[in-house]
Amino acid sequence: MSKTDFGPSIKSRPVYGVLSPRPGSSHLIVADGEGGAAVEALFAQAPEMKAKAHLIYIPGANGTDMSTAMAALGAGQYNRAPTYASVRSRIVKVLGDGHMGLQVYATGTESLMGQVQRDAMEAGLPHDAVQTEHRGSLARRVQCVHCKGITENVTTDPFVCSHCGLNLFVRDHYSRRLAAFQGVNIDAEDPGEVPPAEERFK
């Protein structure tokens, strides 16, 4: 499973790196889908961090489920969650309880990494305190600029807002605070004239 090579980045899009072990009193690791492979690589570099690691794994919306392998890695605490929304309160508590020396790692989809960064910032950590590594799907989390609802796992452009039903195109504009790209109505000027959806964010 290879790392993703993004094209030239838009200016508001975060830049992702490669997870590397940092010395710390504890490690919060959040992964989804193919991000499990980055966790395996991280632990292979520094097996001693496992005992102090709290690993949260969410199977990918694209069907990738590495939870059997994740459970077997030997993390001090392991939790498998169905969605980020379901596990968010747990992550917020761990971030809030974290002592100096807590290291945070997020890997998998942009949506997952963006939400971990957002919650870490809200907990008072600087946004670059979270190490990130992109793996797997390019699916985007997109906020409808009209109704403000967020649609998860957007793979096509345009797409239909899961809240208000408008046809949206994905503007190359990303908010770290919302951990989302911006979706804008594509047929406002010509209602019903919607170009065919293309799979842009597989």
Partner 1 sequence: MSLDDFFHDETFFGDYTFKNSPRAIKRFPFPFPEDDYMYSVNMEPHVPGRPGSVFEHTFDVDEHYVAEMRDRARVLRDDPLRCQSLPHMTLAGWDLLELIMESFARDYPQWFSLTKSGNQWHWINRPLNIDQKFTFLDESTLPCGPMEYITRQAQGDFTLQDQRNDNLWIEAGMVTTQADWSLDFDIGMSFHEWHAPVPKAHEMGVFDRALKFLLQLQHGAPVRRFNWTMTVDPLLDTSPENYPKWGPGKTTLTKENIGQRQHLRVELQTLFRLPRSNAIAFPIRCYLCSFEDLVTQPKWARRLHRVVRDLPDELATYKGFIRNRPLMVDYLSQFDDGAPTSPGWWPDE
> How many angstroms separate the Cα of 25 from the Cα of each of 49, 54, 103, 120?
9, 12, 8, 17
Q: Is 113 exposed, middle or buried (0-12, 13-18, 19+ CB in 10 A)?
A: buried
Cβ proximity of 150 and 197 under 8 Å? no
**Cβ 30 to partner 1 shortest distance, Å:** 22
Using CB under 8 A as the binding rule, whether residue 86 contacts partner 1 is answered as no
Using CB under 8 A as the binding rule, whether residue 190 contacts partner 1 is answered as yes
Alpha carbon distance 46, 126 (integer Å): 25
- Interface map 33-62 toward partner 1 (x if CB under 8 A): ------------------------------
Using CB under 8 A as the binding rule, whether residue 175 contacts partner 1 is answered as yes
68: part of which helix (H) or strand (E)? helix 67-71
**Cβ 128 to partner 1 shortest distance, Å:** 10
Tokens of 104: 């945070």
- Candidates 87, 173, 197, 200: give the one binding partner 1 (CB under 8 A): 173
Residue range at the interface with partner 1 (CB under 8 A); choices 8-16, 23-31, 44-52, 58-66: 8-16
The amino acid at 64: T
Using CB under 8 A as the binding rule, whether residue 176 contacts partner 1 is answered as yes
Using CB under 8 A as the binding rule, whether residue 202 contacts partner 1 is answered as no
- Candidates 188, 195, 198, 202: give the one binding partner 1 (CB under 8 A): 188
- Candidates 22, 93, 148, 202: give the one binding partner 1 (CB under 8 A): 148
DSSP alpha helix (H) spans, the chain: 35-45, 67-71, 84-97, 110-122
Cβ proximity of 169 and 157 under 8 Å? yes
Contact positions vs partner 1 (CB under 8 A): 10-13, 143, 145-146, 148, 166, 171-178, 182, 184-185, 188-191
